[in-house]
Amino acid sequence: MSSNPFLSPWATPFGVPAFDRITPSDIAEAMERGMAEQLAETAAITADPAAPSFANTIEALERGGALLESAGRVFSNLVSSLGTDALQALERDFAPKLAEHASRIALDAALFARIDDLFARRDSLGLAPDALRLLERRHLGFVRGGARLGPAEKARMAETSQRLAVLHTEFGQNVVHDEAAWHLALDEQGLAGLPGFVRDGARQAAAERGIDGHAITLARSSIEPFLTFSTRRDLRQAAYRAWIARGAHDGPHDNRRLIPEILALRLERAKLLGHANYADYRLADTMAGTHASVARLTDEVWRAALPRAAAERDRLAAIARADGINDGIEPWDWRHYAERARVAEYALDEAELKPYFELENIQLAAFDTAGRLFGLTFTERPDIPKYHADMRAWEVRDAAGHVGVFLADNFARPGKRSGAWMSSYRDQQALDAPVSPIIVNNNNFARGTPTLLSYDDAETLFHEFGHALHGLLSRVRYPSQSGTSVRRDFVEFPSQIYEHWLAVPETLAGFARHHETDEPLAEAVVKRLLAARTFNQGCATVEYTASAILDMALHTHPDPGGLDVGAFEAQVLSDLGMPREISARHRPPHFQHLFAGAGYAAGYYSYLWAEVLDADGFGAFEAAGDVFDPAAAARLRALLEAGDTRDPMALYVAFRGAEPGTGALLRNRGLAALQSV
């Protein structure tokens, strides 16, 4: 009998993976076996002599691939959360294998013939609405995957899939390498200006790297506070340049050599499928629909943000002149002088605010909000196996009983992918029997004793927890429609609307409490904090929107194979009128949203699109006069439960009563007054 834990049911609470028993070789064996099993299952579908039916074709596909799904989810999560050499080697080995496997199914002519037959007869099959949508979406997925192409074109699609899988993996691992390889050691003079929480984080970072003293790393939770508080302009410059140079170093980890090939392969695939460029291909299956729709949104926001950013720059430059900086501020100065301006204008000092935003309390605040809105409770379960000591686990329940399991992995560490994300180890579904979800949030907070968060960090935790609720509250029949399996420019709506509840007075009064005295944040400070939410939004909006526009420019380029990535980036930003003192939030060589996978390729605008929805959507609670209004919360829960069983705009209109406009977004960012500029 095999000792591989994937080959028998998990003997763990709620069927959580047996992390304490899993080895890389177990994962490899399970994925190899899982691919073989899924191919056999697919062959059985196509060999079925009975006429195609929804049950023997679509539902059979939904049931297939269980072992590969289980092992693959564990693998993809662990390689991001742990990033060990063994897991990264496995990722390099399996990326093309998994791509080739997916292509064999997506391009199976006999399988598509059955699906196409059902699609042609869909109106006569008497399907329930969720089943009809599943059939339509399955059919569209096969068509967009190349199922209608000729044999030579199908072979080329499979080749490009495998090559892109290799390139995506290499791109992501190169960024992780650069982030792990760099640190800035700080002597006593290098600590100038740094408050206690930044020093504590720097001390912890140094210890994790086996060096004495203090160090700044390229984890966002390390470098951004350093750029904010350090009074050593020379060190801010060094740290900033290292930050924006990730993935852009000559040698084997240089992502600039990968981007043109990735773009060229994507363009080739789009053209094979009848699209002029990759952006047109991706947007054809989104809420936005067209490049023109995206451009209207980004152009409107850009025009509103640019004059606001210019005014912010002038204000910061005036402060910098008092420090003898007379020739204008640089990008590595912006955060530092913005913090000084915020202190002056709102009497808000992040170093004084942070003691009130302790990680444990903010996690509890996210739980409490979910309880007040949706009736959820969270009970920590120390008996659940862990893949790392940082991981924590909770059982989630509501009045009806068990809902799912929520995992949190909140700290930055060497080898862990940067950023913050939600994922799942198991999706909710009820095809044959109820299956509850296992959802994980990853953050990259700087560890401390205790761990203190900036307000932005706290918003990030709420954001990712909003994604988690989308997975936890899913109530669908079919696995392919579960939770976050929705269109890319809708998936950010649940996460972004949840951020609003961090700022409500009830949350701040209950959970923004001093970690030593338990005193709540003073009401006067809360008012100033909320008033300052639009502070520096010109810069923040320009940073983000520039990246979204650059994404579209890259994916509409007519001949990207020989692209000089740096020169192209500079030209696009110059044409936009990008302020010299602000850089795009993500430069192409480390833009993992675009190039470590295709998830947000020609789709980075999605955060802005979803912000139109969330800004308007939170208005449902404001209009009710109660941010926890039970009727609005019930409608929001219905949206979260629905997954991909309905069109996303139909779900939104059912929740809100009408389609949204951009007005609420511009007001929330403090840009409404500049709309016509």
Q: Are 9 and 17 in contact (CB under 8 A)?
A: no
Residues with active-site annotation: 464
Stretch (H or E) spanning 186: strand 183-186
**DSSP conformation class of 183:** E
Angle at which helix 331-346 crosses helix 233-244, to 10 degrees, equals 120
Angle at which helix 331-346 crosses helix 220-229, to 10 degrees, equals 70
Beta-carbon contacts of 223 under 8 Å, excluding residues fewer than 6 positions away, are 216, 217, 239, 240, 243
- CA-based nearest residue to 219, from 24, 83, 388: 83
Rounded CA separation 86/440 (Å)? 22
Q: How many Cβ atoms are within 10 Å of 154's Cβ, its own excluded?
A: 20
Stretch (H or E) spanning 168: helix 151-181
Rounded CA separation 169/597 (Å)? 8
- CA-based nearest residue to 672, from 314, 300, 312: 300
Query: How far apart, in Å, are the Cα atoms of 332 and each of 10, 223, 224, 272, 442?
Result: 50, 11, 10, 44, 27
Q: Could you give the count of Cα atoms lying within 13 Å of 439 in the half-sphere of its Cβ?
A: 29
Residue 322's identity, in one-letter code, is A
552 alpha-carbon distance from chain centroid:
18
Residue 214's identity, in one-letter code, is H
Tokens of 126: 């008497």
Residue 435, strand partner residues: 429
**DSSP conformation class of 335:** H
Residue 380, strand partner residues: 394
Q: How many Cβ atoms are within 10 Å of 598's Cβ, its own excluded?
A: 18
Residue 597's identity, in one-letter code, is G
